[in-house]
Amino acid sequence: MQGTRGHSGGRTWDLEERLLEYSAAIIDLTEKLVKTRAGNHVGGQLLRCGTSPYFNHGEAEAAESRADFVHKLGICLKELRESLRALGLVARVPLVEPPSTVEPLLQETDALIRIFKSSIRTASAKLAKEERGLYDCHDSPPCDVRR
C-alpha cells in the first residue's frame, strides 16, 4: 500500500525500515534490563508491544480493504501507545542504567505515534468518502487499496 514512504525535511524515509530499526532498538533495550522479576516482566511486555508495530505494519500493507487497512494501522498505534507506557516505566523505576538510555526510544515512539495517527486520519477520511460514494481524481476506488 502506498503511504509507507514519506518525505521529511529533504530526506526520504521508509516507514517499514524505521519500524524495523525501532523493533531492533526495543530488542536491544530489553536485553539490557535488570535481570529481576520486575525487569523480566516489564521486559517481556515491552518486547511484545514494541516489536508488534513492525509486524502489524506488514499486515496493513496486505490489507483486504481500506477499512482493514485502517484497523491494522489502529493496532500499530495501540501497540506504540503501550510501548510508550512501558518505556516510561523502565525509565521511572529504573530497570536500566542509566535511565537516560530510554530517552531516544521514548522520542521515537512519540514520533511513530504521530505518524500513525496522521495516517489513520488520512485513510479514515478516504474510507468515509468511499462509503458515501464520493471520489475525486486522486482517490482510488474501494477495490484498489494497494495502488
Question: What is the distance of C-alpha 30 from the center of its chain?
Answer: 18
Q: Which CATH architecture has domain 15-130?
A: Up-down Bundle (1.20)
32-76 pLDDT per residue, tens: 999 999 999 999 999 999 999 999 999 999 999 999 999 999 999
Query: Is pTM beyond 0.75 here?
Result: yes
Q: What is the pLDDT of residue 132?
A: 85
**Average pLDDT value for residue range 81-107:** 97
Of 129 and 70, the one with more pLDDT: 70
Angle between helices 66-92 and 103-132 (to 10 degrees): 160
Which residues, other chains included, contact 62 with Cβ-Cβ below 8 Å and sequence gap of 6+? none
Q: What is the pLDDT of residue 138?
A: 56
Q: What are phi and psi of 119, to 5 degrees?
A: -65, -40
Q: What is the pLDDT of residue 133?
A: 83
Percent of the chain with pLDDT over 70: 82
Bond before 53 cis per omega within 30 degrees: no
| C-alpha cell of residue 60 | 496493513
Q: What is the pLDDT of residue 145?
A: 47
Q: What is the pLDDT of residue 23?
A: 98
> Domain extents for the chain?
15-130
Q: How many residues does the chain have?
A: 147
Q: How far apart are CA 138 and CA 147, in angstroms?
A: 11
